[in-house]
């Protein structure tokens, strides 16, 4: 192959089918090494894919912050924690560069590649989302503390000091099979197949670079009143997310969620920290508990979501209120009372899950995929420590999985996921 022909190939985008033809003719076979076709594709480069503003049910990919954080909560999630098997910082960078246009396309409601008519090769897109809309899909990427501990990647000096494996909290019974990870991808959509499709295709495209460590699907049912979304309920039937910051208020989000300049390492400015906890709910025990005891456990009325003794969901808790006998209206061991003992806040974006039956006990394997976003992990840690051993809710739940990830700031058009890290 002459030098001019090689240079020409490297300057234009080609698809997998074209690459196979060329490789079969010996044209680019020399480029294909042990890492396979994905490395060739990243060597050839990728064109910039833009947000399709005409797509229905579309969330923007590009912006100051990643989508899937301040975005209005969707009905479904597929959360994946990944282990990396890349051997260099450059190879990790190529991975995120390769993922970027794929993520934009799927958030546009498009297939990740043109459909092939060649039945002798696998299709590049797995196809299960064909005919479905973008379904308000958001794809959010983060990195775990273990990624920075891999010497072959040379990232140790870029690790945020606050990015550490979460401490062991009272009542934790963690399963490493549902904890931690080098990378995470959070896919949320109003269609479960759209969410799953995005994770499936990103991992498939990264074959030889990542492996799936753990994953969890989840769901929400979101009531609508006068075309306005209401607070969703968890499987205990209580509203989850009442005390969240206003995602439309920039000042409030900067105070609670988005990392500001000087808060962390420079590459995290505009990003956030994601905490994921898989919490099993002991539904059978809960279902045998009187409604009054359930409400005393949370500190709120079940149906309205209002603080005990009040009628409005968003009324102030006024924790110092007492009844005619001098007892606190909101019990001091209730979940809400303990959580509000600290000043810290966070943005909760949780989903219920149901994974069949626990084969050891014969009960539902169901609960909450708790997800929160905060500008510093200490916000979650302080609240969780305040709940401690005395939280009455502990009688009905067990924490099974735990992870924390640093989510990159937003991506500008022409840039790629995590560029700030690789430029640092």
Which 3 state secondary structure label does DSSP give 80?
strand
pLDDT of residue 45: 54
**For 274-295, how does the pLDDT look when each residue is reduced to its tens digit (9 = 90+)?**
999 999 999 999 999 999 999 9
Mean pLDDT of all residues in the chain? 90
The model's pLDDT over 328-383, given as tens digits with 9 standing for 90+, comes to: 999 999 999 999 999 999 999 999 999 999 888 899 999 999 999 999 999 999 99
- pLDDT > 70: what percent of the chain? 89
Helical ranges in 15-148 per DSSP H: 16-24, 37-44, 89-107
Segment 117-146, tens digit of pLDDT:
899 999 999 999 999 999 999 999 999 999
Half-sphere exposure of 227 (CA within 13 A, CB side): 0
CB distance 273 to 377 below 8 Å: yes
Q: For residue 281, what are the β-bridge partners?
A: 397
- pTM over 0.85? The answer is yes
- How confident is the model at residue 46, as a pLDDT? 64
pLDDT recorded at residue 12: 40
How many whole angstroms separate alpha carbon 311 and alpha carbon 301? Answer: 8
In this prediction, residue 32 has a pLDDT band, given cuts at 50, 70 and 90, of very low
DSSP 247: T
């Amino acid at each position: 192959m002459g030098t001019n022909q090689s240079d020409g190939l490297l300057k234009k985008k080609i698809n997998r089918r074209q690459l196979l033809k060329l490789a079969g003719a010996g044209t680019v076979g020399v480029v294909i090494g042990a890492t396979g076709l994905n490395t060739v594709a990243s060597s050839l480069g990728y064109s910039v894919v833009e947000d399709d503003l005409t797509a229905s049910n579309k969330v923007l990919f590009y912006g100051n912050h990643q989508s899937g954080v301040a975005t209005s909560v969707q009905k479904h999630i597929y959360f994946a924690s990944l282990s990396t098997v890349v051997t260099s910082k450059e190879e990790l960078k190529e991975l995120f560069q390769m993922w970027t246009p794929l993520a934009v396309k799927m958030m546009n409601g498009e297939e990740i590649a043109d459909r092939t008519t060649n039945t002798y090769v696998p299709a590049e897109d797995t196809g299960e989302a064909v005919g479905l809309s973008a379904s308000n899909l958001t794809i959010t990427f983060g990195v775990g503390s273990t990624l920075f501990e891999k010497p072959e990647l040379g990232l140790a000096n870029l690790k945020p000091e606050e990015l550490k494996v979460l401490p062991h909290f009272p009542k934790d019974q963690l399963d490493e099979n549902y904890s931690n990870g080098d990378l995470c991808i959070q896919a949320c959509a109003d269609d479960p197949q759209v969410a799953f499709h995005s994770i499936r295709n990103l991992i498939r495209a990264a074959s030889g670079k990542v492996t799936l460590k753990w994953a969890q699907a989840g769901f929400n049912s979101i009531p609508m009143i006068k075309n306005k979304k209401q607070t969703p309920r968890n499987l205990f039937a209580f509203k989850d997310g009442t005390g969240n910051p206003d995602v439309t208020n920039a000042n409030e989000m900067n105070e609670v969620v988005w990392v500001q300049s000087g808060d962390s390492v420079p590459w995290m400015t505009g990003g956030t920290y994601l905490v994921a906890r898989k919490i099993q709910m002991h539904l059978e025990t809960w279902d045998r508990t009187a409604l009054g005891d359930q409400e005393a456990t949370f500190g709120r009325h079940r149906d309205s979501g209002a603080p005990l003794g009040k009628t409005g969901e968003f009324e102030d808790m006024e924790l110092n209120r007492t009844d005619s006998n001098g007892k606190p209206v909101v019990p001091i061991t209730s979940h809400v009372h303990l959580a509000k003992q600290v000043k810290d806040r966070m943005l909760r974006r949780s989903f219920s899950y149901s994974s069949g039956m626990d084969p050891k006990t014969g009960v539902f394997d169901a609960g909450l995929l708790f997800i929160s976003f905060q500008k510093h992990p200490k916000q979650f840690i302080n609240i969780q420590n305040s709940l401690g051993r005395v939280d009455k809710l502990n009688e009905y739940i067990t924490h099974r999985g735990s992870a924390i990830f640093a989510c990159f700031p937003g991506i500008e058009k022409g840039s790629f996921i995590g560029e700030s890290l690789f430029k640092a």
